[in-house]
Structure 1
Amino acid sequence: MSGSWPRRRFLGASGAVLGGGLLASAVGAPAFADADPWRTADRIRRRVRAPRFPHHRFRITDFGAKSDGTTDCTRAFDAAISACARRGGGRVVVPPGRYLTGPIRLRSHVDLHVDAGATILFDTDPARYLPAVYTRWQGVECYNYAPLIYAYGARNIAVTGTGTLDGQAGNTAWWPWKGRPEYGWKPGDPQEGPDWTLLQQWADQGVPVRDRVLGAGHYLRPNFIQPYHCENVLIEGVTIVNSPMWEIHPVLSRNVLVRDVTVISHGPNNDGCDPESSTDVVITGCTFDTGDDCIAIKAGRNADGRRVNTPSQNILVEDCEFRDGHGGVTIGSEMTGGVAGVYARNLRMTSPNLNSCLRLKSNSMRGGYIHDVHLKDVEVGRLSVAAIQVDFYYDEGPGHPYNPDVSGIHVENLHVGTTQYVLDMRGYPDAPIKDVTLAHCRFDTATAADIVENVEGLVLTDVTVNGSPVGARA
């Protein structure tokens, strides 16, 4: 259907078609409720600073590490990090070579620096990631296998350098636990489904977190990098490959800077960066090529999210490149504690395997809110589904008592070459999506009619699709 603008369906809160399709352009309508939200984004950027470290240096090779890729260097990493912490902090240096290790635990005031030419190879034996640690698994708190790099309650921590972090996950390690043949699972093999069901039941029943112990004999994959309850966190320069699950996952943390990181990992649930229930987060200069959402902002899930009740807020994404992935900039689906103040600008996206540019997903089990999302100056070559997607029917869908509250989605200067839908937005009749604006946007080829159901306050200003100007107010 390229070359002609497909018939659009604009539906109000009642689900009725507005004007039978195209409406008159909303000339003179305000583009945004906030006259200049990008000043707020600039304040976040200035406020989020990289931590500074003393000039002490600790080479892991001085603590017994061997760069042959087969010698277990776990004790050497731990000894170097402990020595650095005892001196009041500094840099733990991983020199060129290949270093095999189990999980790494960071401590306050320690920068784990991976030199160019250095690769940290993480052991794939699940027993190495025990004892279980306090963590979150898809938005639910529990004790589970330790993340590959983990910190709890730490201040001033970093993973830096231009080397590589290789989780060594694949169709023979970690990924088969997803329970799908394309990731190496075979009938009779263990899989995560029963444990994930059990964990959700524990949360719904109010089982104390201290009693939600998984790990040995269970099959929930660990995250790659997880700072939990941390402050002043820097992840910079490294390349992350072959992750068991989510790659960079700050939880309940503050002042987090993810800068110039490359993520290339196409396994199940391989999200690139997932700030969860965290405040003041900047993701800048990064490249994402992932098996799931590139960036997914989260805030806890269902009953557990309501118990913890901590939002993600003040999130800035800028100067990033997005390749494969489900969504480029995504919010949800674990967003029960709420998400507010998301700013994304100067982004480049393209891939036939990238579903959406801006993706918001929730349902009436999640509840929570998403308020004030701003996207501008984004160049997209190709998408497989929709430029902007807001879905209240994700996973459990409607019919539960916790309707999501989504309002204030503002998009400016977005150019998309090819997409199926421009807008794919589905609210509920009793919980419409509110206040969505597009200004100065161009969509060269859209091949299907938009889906816009139960949306109030939709305004398009200076928007062209398939070469024709369009505009609407719902």
Structure 2
Amino acid sequence: MTDDTAGRRLAEAIRARVAPPGFPDREFPVTRYGARGDGRTDCTAAFRRAIADCHRAGGGHVTVTAGTYATGAVHLLSNVDLHLESGATLAFSRDPAAYLPVVLSRFQGVECYNYSAFVYAHGQENIAVTGSGTLDGQADETHWWPWSGQEEFGWRPGVREQEDDWPALWRQAERGVPVEERVYGDGFRFRPNFIETYHCRNVLIEGVTIVRSPMWEIHPVLCRNVLVQDVTIDSPGPNNDGIDPESCRDVVIRRCDIYAGDDCIAIKSGREADGRRVNVPSENILIEDCDLRHRYGAITLGSDMTGGVRGVVALNCRIGGPGLYFGLYIKTNSVRGGFAENIHLDGITVSHLTKEFLTCDFHRGEGDTGGYPPRVGGIDVRNVTVDSARRALLARGYAHAPISGLHLTDCTFAGIAEADRLEHVLGLVRENVRLP
């Protein structure tokens, strides 16, 4: 018998540590600094001044009243809550120059200097984006999305796209070129993320709606104590992951509704040589009471997981839709390496998946061509109901590095089209699992 309380005990421990930052009861309305919610006036400087004044005063709330505020990059500082009131929309510029100068970022798991995220913070403490307003990235088939190289999203042959630039960054990382020399941004095609907090502590993203992002929506990197709750994401563009904690510790993602153009929640920890250089795992991450509805993995570990992932709990989530592929999707191989351990899913309801409820296939992508065999084990799945999927399980390890310790308890799978596909899996346990 497996321990039926381990996941919930880990969840309680994470909840006890993760708390929202507090802010002084001071308001700094952006309209006081010249911002106008007319959808035309460039409010970038007004946001910058309001945030700077709030920070210098010891913190508080930079408030945005109803209206549409045109802006470029917004950079948060310690002890500042950017608060969008009902009816407030931040409409982010489509001009790439509005996100210069470049800032420290990660692009596909590799550190570099790139366009600023639309909302960005580096090395700050006690920061927040809250309220019931909307963050609109204004990306579409004519702006930002064509850089993906996907014709579905506006790219056309002969137009420069991110895969034209990616090999140069990858080679720099493999050769150990200092991060300060990996400068991209202007003239390159690495799309910025929407919200990125880098090396920050005590981060809160709450209540807002995010639409039309260039790329990933919420991307905390190397952060501690992160709370994302009651957020709505509706952005089905290319590589539009919903929430991607990367090399973070103590994260809670709660009551979020995610309709994304890629993985809904993807837990990451750096990629290949750069992931081994930084070598910081993602750990102690709780996902609870979320709706995950589109497109690839509902809950994904990887594929940039070279630094490893441990201590993940997903509780009482609703998964599924006609465009969603996987429930739990673990992506790695002997090129990426890393590990995934102490993973718990409990109380998951799945309506419809195009592919497997759980997929972990080491042979995906580059196959077994690297020197860093991954370690995947200690995966506990219980109280799961699946109405429709291609398979319950697709798990393919290597003969020299099998997947181990996969336990399913009190699970019901209906509408399964094909039998499980299992290769080099050790210690698979099924207790009270019902299949058609």
TM normalised by structure 1 equals 0.91
Q: What is the Cα-based RMSD across aligned positions, in Å?
A: 0.9
Q: Which residue of 2 aligns with 1:31?
A: 2
Tell me the amino acid that sits aligned with residue 358 of structure 1.
L
1:35 Cα deviation (Å)? Answer: 5.1
* 2:7–2:345 contact (8 Å) kept in structure 1: no
Shift of 1:393: 2.3
CA–CA distance in structure 2, aligned partners of residues 394 and 55 of structure 1? 52
Q: Which residue of 1 aligns with 2:312?
A: 342
Say whether residues 1:314 and 2:281 are aligned partners: no
3-state SS, counterpart of residue 28 of structure 2 = strand
Which of these residues, 208, 214, 237, is aligned with residue 267 of structure 1?
A: 237
Q: Which moved more, 1:68-77 or 1:186-195?
A: 186-195
Match for residue 460 of structure 1 among 423, 430, 435: 430
Match of 2:379 among 404, 409, 415: 409
On the 8 A contact 1:161/1:238 being kept in 2, the answer is yes
State the distance in 2 between where 1:296 and 1:392 align. 17
User: Does structure 1 residue 226 correspond to structure 2 residue 193?
Assistant: no
Q: Is the 8 A contact 2:294 2:321 kept in 1?
A: yes
Cα-to-partner distance string for 1:69-106 (whole Å, 9 max, x where unaligned) = 11110001001101100100000001000000000000
Query: Which structure has more RCO (C-alpha within 8 Å, separation ≥ 6)?
Result: 1
- Structure 1 counterpart SS, 2:415: strand
Q: 2:228 matched to 1:245?
A: no
Matches within 5 A, 1:334-373: 334-373=304-343
Corresponding letter in the other structure for 1:288: I
Give the conservation status (yes or no) of the 8 Å contact 1:356–1:386. Answer: yes
Contact kept, 8 Å, 1:51 with 1:232, in 2: the verdict is yes
- The equivalent residue for 2:68 is 98
Which amino acid is 2:311 matched to? G
Distance 1:254 1:189 in 2: 39
CA distance in structure 2 between the aligned counterparts of 1:95 and 1:254, rounded to whole angstroms? 30
Query: What is the correspondence of 1:158-197 to structure 2 with a 5 Å cutoff?
Result: 158-197=128-167
- Find the aligned partners of 1:144 and 1:325 in 2 and give their Cα distance: 26
In the alignment, residue 2 of structure 2 is paired with which amino acid?
Answer: A
Matching residue's letter, 1:101: T
Runs (4+) off by over 4 Å: none
How much identity, in percent, do the aligned residues show? 54
Aligned length: 436
Could you tell me how far apart the structure 2 residues matched to 1:268 and 1:35 are?
38
- 8 Å contact 2:288–2:316 — kept in the other structure? yes
Q: Which residue of 1 aligns with 2:184?
A: 214
Tell me how far 1:197 sits from its aligned partner: 1.1
Q: Deviations over 1:359-399 (max 9, x none)?
A: 10101111111111000001111110001111212332212
Deviates more, 1:390-399 or 1:73-82: 390-399
Distance in 2, Cα, partners of 1:235 & 1:99: 19
Tell me the TM-score normalised to structure 2 length: 0.99
Amino acid at match of 1:45: R
- Decide which structure has the larger Cα Rg and report it: 1
Deviation at 1:31, TM superposition (A): 2.4
